[in-house]
Structure 1
Amino acid sequence: MPRWEPDTRERFVVAALQLFTEQGYDETTVAQIADRAGLTKSTFFRHFGDKREVLAAGQETLSRLFAEGISAAPAEASPLAAVDAGLAHAADAMTPFNRELGPRLAAVIATSSELQERAVLKKVGMATAIADALRRRGVDEAIADTAAELGVLAFKAGFEAWTAEDNELSLGQLTSEALRRFHSAIRQLG
């Protein structure tokens, strides 16, 4: 019976993060990532367009989860309650693997302006998915866009708190709390 191997994409992500941490993003090649993962370069390119995309692995899935949760929210839910449902749905899919890699990923992204730009694009993509899901529920465009940005901020804040060593709360609790804090902050703007 063959020995279980982690998911191929997961292996590439782990290998890339190890190499980016050890020798830097710019100095790491796709061939090195594939070698470290115990896979081939051609397999890498079946999963990712380039080495930068390794760090955005899961963005499409996360955006889809947000949208699914928003769609599944009760019809009478406010836009913010629908976003909270989307955050909860996405949070439920996060695993210890995501929690473990979060701080390492943030550290690598901080070392490269190219990766920082990609991280911003990832947030734009997530906000677009949330706003589109809200618009499909009949939410006004400006409200959908505002709620989507709050959702992205809440997910970011919740994820950072979730990956802290001393945290004992679930990601869902943390994103929901963050969403309430940001909503309260908007009300205080006047």
Structure 2
Amino acid sequence: MRYPGWVPRSGAEARRRLQQAALELYQERGFDQTTTAEIAARAGVNERTFFRHFPDKREVLFDGEADLRAALMEAVADAPDGLKPLETLLSAFRKAGRILEENRPFSEPRLAIIAVTPALRERDLAKAASLTEAVAQALRQRGVADRLAGLAAQTGWAAFHHAAQDWIDDPSQSLDAHLLRAFDDLRTLSATASHDRPDRS
């Protein structure tokens, strides 16, 4: 709902209001049917203020990418020595996952909107590729071989994304619990693959 006469007191407050307004409108009307002018009006600011904070209406839903990237790279760097690449990523994703859990009121509808909007799915894939490369680079800095770092980052990100979707679908368990299960499933798949591998001797 709009609050006539309400003016955000700070840039951070205006940004939060714009995000909340966009989320409400995307849920009510759909992403494609919502304009930046409508988002600004719902938030009680003008359209110029919207563009001071976001380059377009898609980026409202991807505002936390920089924080997630920083948290992941820091968590990979700080993981205990001696962990294998996937175990390093599990440790990192468990820490970074707290960002999503703390922001569930935004995270849940955000994922639902992206899932039904082709333009947002395309942007989500591009962002995921960027984050995956950042994680791979953090693994390389820990001494993981280039090829293995890339494969681990892509596999780990897929497990994280899978766990996040499960968490949205089944909120009775924490994101951390879903993440642990996803990585357990990865280990099961890996063990199965090694047992089924043909003898190359």
Residue 149 (structure 1) aligns with: 154
1:20 to 13, 23, 26: 26
Deviation at 1:147, TM superposition (A): 1.1
Tell whether the 8 Å contact from 1:99 to 1:162 is kept in structure 2 after alignment.
Answer: no
Aligned-CA RMSD value? 2.4
Say which structure, 1 or 2, has more relative contact order (CA 8 Å, 6+ apart).
1
Residue 122 (structure 1) aligns with: 127
User: For residues 94 and 46 of structure 1, do their structure 2 counterparts lie closer, same or farther at Cα, with a shift above 3 Å needed?
Assistant: same
Task: Tell whether 2:90 aligns with 1:84.
Answer: yes
Tell whether the 8 Å contact from 1:150 to 1:183 is kept in structure 2 after alignment.
Answer: no
Q: How does 1:107-118 map to 2 (within 5 A)?
A: 107-118=112-123
Deviation at 1:102, TM superposition (A): 3.3
Residue 101 (structure 1) aligns with: 106
Q: Deviations over 1:138-178 (max 9, x none)?
A: 111111111111221122122122223x5333222321221
Separation in structure 2 between the aligned mates of residue 126 and residue 179 of structure 1, nearest angstrom: 19
Separation in structure 2 between the aligned mates of residue 104 and residue 186 of structure 1, nearest angstrom: 33
Separation in structure 2 between the aligned mates of residue 93 and residue 113 of structure 1, nearest angstrom: 25
Separation in structure 2 between the aligned mates of residue 72 and residue 138 of structure 1, nearest angstrom: 13
Separation in structure 2 between the aligned mates of residue 7 and residue 160 of structure 1, nearest angstrom: 29
User: For residues 73 and 162 of structure 1, do their structure 2 counterparts lie closer, same or farther at Cα, with a shift above 3 Å needed?
Assistant: same
Task: Tell whether 2:57 aligns with 1:51.
Answer: yes
Residue 182 (structure 2) aligns with: 178
User: For residues 154 and 45 of structure 1, do their structure 2 counterparts lie closer, same or farther at Cα, with a shift above 3 Å needed?
Assistant: same
User: For residues 4 and 158 of structure 1, do their structure 2 counterparts lie closer, same or farther at Cα, with a shift above 3 Å needed?
Assistant: farther
TM-score of the pair, normalised by structure 1: 0.86
Separation in structure 2 between the aligned mates of residue 137 and residue 84 of structure 1, nearest angstrom: 15
Q: How does 1:37-76 map to 2 (within 5 A)?
A: 37-76=43-82
2:163 to 158, 165, 175: 158
Separation in structure 2 between the aligned mates of residue 130 and residue 113 of structure 1, nearest angstrom: 26
Q: Which moved more, 1:117-126 or 1:86-95?
A: 86-95
User: For residues 31 and 91 of structure 1, do their structure 2 counterparts lie closer, same or farther at Cα, with a shift above 3 Å needed?
Assistant: same
Deviation at 1:132, TM superposition (A): 1.0
Deviation at 1:107, TM superposition (A): 2.9
1:167 to 166, 171, 182: 171
* SS of the residue 1:76 aligns to: coil
Q: Return 5+ residue gaps in structure 1 as ranges.
A: none
Task: Tell whether 2:155 aligns with 1:140.
Answer: no
